A = this chain, B = another copy of it.
């Protein structure tokens, strides 16, 4: 089994996440894919960085010039020297993984041209939508589709601010302060609020979907600074939410690429994406409407995306002759019997409307260790029952979490009560 060596350049939040997960999941990845991925270098120029000393170097040149390194992971961000590092890696016959949306959006042409020239790949799953595998979905999952449009909520900071303004009626300054306090907006939030970060990501989505990377000055870009609480309120009255959307779509043989606050119908899933979450709504000509939702940033979601790219490249490089069967039929995990699950339950009893019935029911539940969260007796007839049972009424109950076997036992006993006129309906509740 070939070992694939990775050189990590940039050991900040995401870099340290990648290193930690690569170490912790090394065996798992090997088992799933048949590939042995070894972190050979951690490179960071900051002398205060703490990492495994056998891997740590301050000299990116050591990583870039080591012929043993197969994949360079660039996580330093910014344009320079990230660009020079990536170009050197490609020239030295290494594949590249990056999360650097600004670089790819602004200098992507040079980088992808170099990749082509040197027969290497540049992967960038982590640069759009954090942990959401949207690049893979478009590039591989939708390989046979013509993508017609993409509408993305791809900046968590703006979505958090707009959600707060919407929920609380506060203005953008208040919401921004709250976001900064929560750690979901930077001290200098301009890249986010102006829509520039969304535009960077939109350029990449457009490149993936249409084969054309617009330049920054071709992307119309309006931030959320002008949105007032009253706009959110009026929009809602008209049946819309206001979201910062990044939009790329085909229109009359051209591509529209724009970022701006947008009214979205309240019934649409995009209107229901709350807080820091991201969602990318993609229409392919074969698949129709699809939507991909998840955390758009953060140490571990982003690390997850970086590692997926590393593993994909490692597969390509090593092309293992034993095939990749990540569906392993030999796992030792047992399947839990339904009797042993715990759940909350919605129960509807059809009971005679007479004294003592509820006491009987709740007595049986109590003996089975089932605690009632709420109960309502409905003042309505049960239509389909014969006349002699016509005074049965629905009693609707929500329980706290209980053991399934106890619930079944209780229901069997309850359904035998003379006052119960129809099999009780019990549905499980998932709090999610």
Contacts and interface: CB of A to CB of B under 8 A. Distances in A.
A12 interface: no
A128 B216 CA distance: 38
Given A329-B207, A348-B231, A295 B289 contact: yes
Contact of A210 (B115, B333, B344): B333
A133 B304 CA distance: 17
Contacts of A385: none
A326 interface: yes
A108 interface: yes
A214 interface: yes
A336 B289 CA distance: 23
Q: How large is the interface on A (under 10, 10 to 19, 20 to 34, 35 or more residues)?
A: 35 or more
B331 A212 contact: yes
A144 B238 contact: no
A290 B132 contact: yes
A301 B325 contact: no
B131 A238 contact: no
Nearest to A301: B287
Contacts of A268: 432
Interface stretch (A81-89, A182-190, A255-263): A255-263
A119 B333 contact: no
A191 B323 CA distance: 33
Contacts of A178: none
Contact of A294 (B277, B288, B430): B288
B394 A32 contact: no
Interface string A210-223: 11111100111000
A227 B298 CA distance: 41
A140 to B, nearest CB: 6
A139 B346 contact: no
Interface stretch (A49-57, A305-313, A360-368, A412-420): A305-313
Contact of A256 (B140, B227, B285, B336): B336
A332 B145 CA distance: 18
A390 interface: no
Contacts of A291: 291-294
A141 interface: yes
B394 A234 contact: yes
Contacts of A354: none
Interface stretch (A1-9, A69-77, A193-201, A240-248): A240-248
Contacts of A230: 348, 394
Given A140-B136, A144-B308, A263-B427, A286 B21 contact: yes
A336 B131 contact: no
A79 interface: no
Nearest to A260: B428
B272 A288 contact: no
A271 B388 CA distance: 38
A379 interface: no
A346 B214 contact: no
Contacts of A427: 227, 231, 235, 242, 260-263
Contacts of A260: 427-428
B430 A264 contact: yes
Given A211-B330, A231-B425, A235-B427, 17 more contacts: A113-B329, A131-B287, A131-B290, A136-B137, A141-B308, A143-B326, A144-B304, A151-B432, A218-B335, A234-B396, A245-B430, A254-B336, A255-B334, A256-B335, A284-B304, A286-B304, A291-B293
Ordered nearest first, which 5 A-B pairs have the shortest CB separation?
A133-B141, A211-B331, A131-B287, A290-B294, A220-B338
13 contacts: A29-B144, A133-B137, A136-B137, A143-B311, A144-B307, A210-B331, A212-B332, A234-B378, A235-B427, A254-B333, A287-B304, A292-B292, A316-B319
